[in-house]
Chain A
Amino acid sequence: MSAAADIPRTQRAAMSFGMSTVLLGLCLAAACVAPFVLNGYGLYVLTLTGVFALVALGLNLLTGYAGQISLCHAAFFGVGAYATAILTQKVGLPYLLSILAGALLTAAVGAIVAVPAMRLKSLYLAIATLGFGVVLQKIIFEWRGLTNGGGGLALNPPAIAGHELGETGLYYLTLALMTLGIWGAWNLSRSRTGRALLMIKESEIAAGALVIPAARYKVIAFAISAFYAAVAGGLFAYLVRYIHPENFSVGLSIAFLSMVVIGGLGTIGGSIVGAGFYVIVPELLRGIKDAPGLVFGLLLVIVMVLMPQGLWGVVRYLRRRA
Chain B
Amino acid sequence: MARLSIENLSVDFGGIHALRDVSFALESGAIVGLIGPNGAGKSTLLNCVSGITRPTQGRVRLDDAVLSALAPASVANQGIGRVFQHPELVADLSVRENLLIACHRSLRYGLISELLRLPKVWTAERDAAQRVDGMLDRLGLLESAEFAIRGLPYGHRKLVDLGRALLMDIRFLLLDEPIAGLNDLEVAKLHDLLLRLRQDLGLGILVVEHNMPFVSRLCDRLVVLDLGELIANGRPDDVLRDPRVMASYLGEDA
Q: Which residues of A contact B (CB under 8 A)?
A: 1-14, 183-184, 187-188, 191-193, 195-196, 198-199, 201-203, 205-213, 220, 266
Contact = CB atoms under 8 A, between A and B. Distances in A.
A8 B100 CA distance: 22
Contact of A3 (B73, B77, B156, B168): B156
B187 to A, nearest CB: 13
Interface residues of B, number: 54
A131 B112 CA distance: 31
Contact of B143 (A5, A195, A211, A212): A5
Contact of B52 (A2, A187, A201, A208): A208
Contact of B165 (A7, A202, A208, A209): A209
A196 B104 contact: yes
A195 B93 contact: yes
Interface string B49-76: 0111000000000000000000111001
A202 B90 contact: yes
A7 B144 contact: yes
A209 B81 contact: yes
Contacts of A212: 73, 101, 104
Nearest to B50: A209
Contact of B97 (A6, A11, A195): A195
Contact of B73 (A6, A7, A11, A213): A213
Given A193-B114, A208-B51, A210-B101, A14 B146 contact: yes
Contact of A7 (B101, B104, B125, B152): B152
A203 B83 CA distance: 13
Contact of B141 (A3, A12, A13, A196): A3
Contacts of B221: none
A5 B189 CA distance: 14
Contacts of A198: 90, 92-93, 101
Contacts of A220: 111
Q: Which of B84, B93, B104, B105 is packed against the most chain A CB atoms within 10 Å?
A: B104
B142 A4 contact: yes
B121 interface: yes
A13 B88 contact: no
Interface in B78-116: 81-82, 84, 88-90, 92-94, 97, 100-102, 104-105, 107, 109, 111, 114-116
B191 to A, nearest CB: 12
Given A12-B148, A209-B81, A209-B165, A203 B105 contact: no
A132 B140 CA distance: 50
A213 B115 contact: no
B150 interface: yes
Nearest to A13: B94
B244 interface: no
Given A3-B141, A188-B115, A208 B104 contact: no
B117 interface: yes
A203 B189 CA distance: 28
A7 B147 contact: yes
Contact of A192 (B50, B88, B104, B155): B104
A210 B151 contact: no
Contact of A191 (B89, B125, B142): B125
